[in-house]
């Protein structure tokens, strides 16, 4: 992470204010005064502000607009991971709360708070997720009722939980599910003879993807967004 961003995060100030601290020689890294805000800070760095050691405190929470082609794991032999998009100290300590497939885009939540992410991913909490879907073939109106009753997926013993389907056009829809079976949305539409050609997650619980985030960009969650899964 850049030093100016590290100062902004740990001190709760703007990057412009962090730049002033650097200019005024108030910041030391590993015992030396540093004025360059672009200096990369790692776990091994000892950063001090007027003699006071700085470090991240408490868990971290982020939303990311995941681009296509990135995977939600720390290591992959063939594809880039979402963690290379993060300019954060110790990104390896963060994990994804509810993964997306490599070809699926949209809202990804990242944290180092295991209990918080468990409330999103545990089936018993029935956390709702909203997806925008593009389909290969026209979508019959009766699919709404079929999904509301639950469908039988190949290899599964039980029906899916009731899902809400809103048809936007003959090949576009919004679907809300409250579980996270493997490739669930794609398999649900396959069960009614259709094929998903585009999939984008728009919402998890009450957390909606920030429209200002371009693909590959991220931001910290607000206190209100974090609190939703702490209830």
Per-residue pLDDT of the chain (231 residues; tens, 9 = 90+): 899 988 988 887 888 999 999 999 999 999 999 999 999 988 788 999 998 888 776 789 999 999 999 999 999 899 999 999 998 877 888 999 999 999 999 999 999 999 999 999 998 899 999 999 999 999 999 999 999 999 999 889 899 999 999 999 999 999 999 998 899 999 999 999 999 999 999 999 999 999 999 999 999 999 999 998 887
Number of Cβ atoms within 10 Å of the Cβ of 64: 26
Query: 154 and 118 in one domain?
Result: no
Provide DSSP, 44-69.
T--EEETTEEE---S--EEEEEEPTT
Query: 132 and 110 in one domain?
Result: no
Task: Please compute, for residue 206, the number of CA atoms within 13 A of its CA located in the half-sphere on the CB side.
Answer: 11
Label residues 173-182 b or e (16+ Cβ within 10 Å = b): bbbbbeeeee
List residues with catalytic annotation.
101
pTM higher than 0.85: no
Query: 196 and 135 in one domain?
Result: yes
Neighbour-count burial of 20, counting CB atoms closer than 10 A to its CB (0-12 exposed, 13-18 middle, 19+ buried): exposed
Query: 156 and 99 in one domain?
Result: no
Are 163 and 180 within 8 A, CB to CB? no
pLDDT at 9: 80
**Domain end marker among 54, 71, 97:** 54
CA nearest to 163, candidates 139, 144, 182, 142: 144
Query: 119 and 23 in one domain?
Result: no
CATH code, domain carrying 224: 3.30.70.580
Query: 216 and 106 in one domain?
Result: yes
Query: 67 and 111 in one domain?
Result: yes
Q: Which domain holds residue 146?
A: 128-204
pLDDT at 32: 93
Alpha-carbon distance 134 to 199, whole Å? 6
Query: 82 and 35 in one domain?
Result: no
Query: 157 and 44 in one domain?
Result: no
Q: Is 56 left (phi over 0), alpha (psi -120 to 50) or beta?
A: beta
For the CA atoms of 39, 43, 47, 51, the dihedral, rounded to the nearest 10 degrees, stands at -170
pLDDT at 43: 78
CATH code, domain carrying 195: 3.30.70.1560
**Domain end marker among 20, 35, 54:** 54
Are 191 and 151 within 8 A, CB to CB? yes
- Number of domains present in the structure of the chain: 3
Query: 223 and 175 in one domain?
Result: no
Query: 193 and 90 in one domain?
Result: no
CATH code, domain carrying 37: 3.10.290.10
Query: 216 and 109 in one domain?
Result: yes
Q: Which residues contact 98 (CB under 8 A, 6 or more apart)?
A: 108, 109, 117, 120, 121, 127, 129, 180, 204
* φ, ψ at 47 (rounded to 5°): -105, 130
């Amino acid at each position: 992470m850049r030093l100016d961003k590290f100062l902004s995060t740990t001190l709760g100030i703007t990057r412009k204010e962090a730049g002033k601290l650097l200019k005024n020689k108030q910041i030391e890294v590993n015992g030396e005064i540093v004025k360059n805000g672009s200096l990369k800070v790692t776990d091994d760095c000892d950063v001090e502000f007027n003699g006071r050691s700085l470090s991240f405190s408490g868990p971290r929470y982020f939303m990311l607009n995941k681009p296509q082609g990135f995977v939600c794991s720390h290591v992959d032999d063939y594809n880039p991971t979402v963690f290379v998009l993060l300019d954060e100290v110790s990104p390896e300590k963060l994990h994804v709360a509810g993964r997306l497939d490599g070809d699926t885009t949209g809202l990804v939540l990242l944290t180092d708070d295991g209990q918080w992410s468990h409330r999103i991913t545990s089936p018993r909490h029935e956390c709702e997720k909203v997806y925008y879907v593009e389909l290969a073939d026209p979508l019959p109106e009766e699919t709404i009722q079929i999904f509301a009753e639950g469908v039988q997926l190949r290899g599964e013993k039980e029906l899916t939980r009731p899902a809400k389907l809103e048809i936007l056009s003959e090949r576009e829809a919004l679907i809300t599910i409250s579980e996270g079976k493997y490739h669930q949305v794609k398999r649900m539409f396959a069960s009614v003879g259709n094929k998903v050609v585009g999939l984008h997650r728009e919402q998890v619980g009450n957390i909606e993807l920030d429209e200002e985030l371009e693909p590959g960009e991220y931001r910290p969650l607000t206190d209100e967004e974090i609190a939703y899964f702490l209830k």
